[in-house]
Amino acid sequence: MTSVSASCATLLHAVFERTRDVAPARVVRVASVIFITALTAAAAQLSVPVPFTQIPFTFQPTIVLLGGLVLGSRLGSLAQVLYLAAGAVGFAAFSPSLLLPPGALRLLGPTGGYLLAYPLAAFVVGALAERGFDRRYLTSLVAMIAGLAVVYAGGAAWLAFFARTATGNAATGLSAAIATGVVPFVLPDLIKLIAAAGVAPALWRLLGHDHR
């Protein structure tokens, strides 16, 4: 068994094994991180307002978690740190909104906790992928659900106790934060993860590696 097919390897390692005669490892890593960063920003633009809550429905969490599966813990987390930095300095990385603050102020607003949880969520999913969770559908789904729980925990805690707006305090308390910031999103997010959890195992099969 090669180092790439070992349980600690990620999909990015496997891709590098296929491309190392074409591009050096550093180029592949940098390009992969930038791609996931850009894909997260693109997913943020697919934003749908949800009635009775300040939190919009977006496709970002799915990309964050897939990025962790593919890149692993450190690079998956780095991609999300770069995403937050891009949004904070004014690039159109965050979801468009007439209600939520722009730029760095978005990180202080009602959705700030979800955004700030992205690097940790990607790290958790990536760490599980490095232990082979990305090789099979069910374990990939478990890894992504674990990451989603991190996003929910960070988002709900921030919304409950720390959220701010340009006009003052926007914290809602824990019960209201769960009711408006978690419950409306559980079912659609799970549907997205059920659909997305097959991506990493399919890529492993495409690359010709076993599922051990």
What mean pLDDT is reported for the chain?
89
Task: Give the whole-number percent of the chain exceeding pLDDT 70.
Answer: 91
| β-strand partners of 168 | 165
User: Residue 58: which pLDDT band, with cuts at 50, 70 and 90?
Assistant: very high
Nearest to 78 by CA among 131, 8, 30, 129: 30
The answer to whether 147 and 120 have CB atoms below 8 angstroms apart is no
Give the end-to-end CA distance of the chain in Å, rounded to a whole number: 10
Q: Report the range of poorest mean pLDDT among 21-25, 39-43, 156-160, 169-173.
A: 21-25
Q: What CA–CA distance (Å, rounded) separates 73 from 130?
A: 8
DSSP labels, 7-38:
TT--HHHHHHHHHTTTS-HHHHHHHHHHHHHH
- CATH number listed for the domain at residues 11-206: 1.10.1760.20
- Parse the chain into domains and list their residue ranges: 11-206
| β-strand partners of 165 | 168
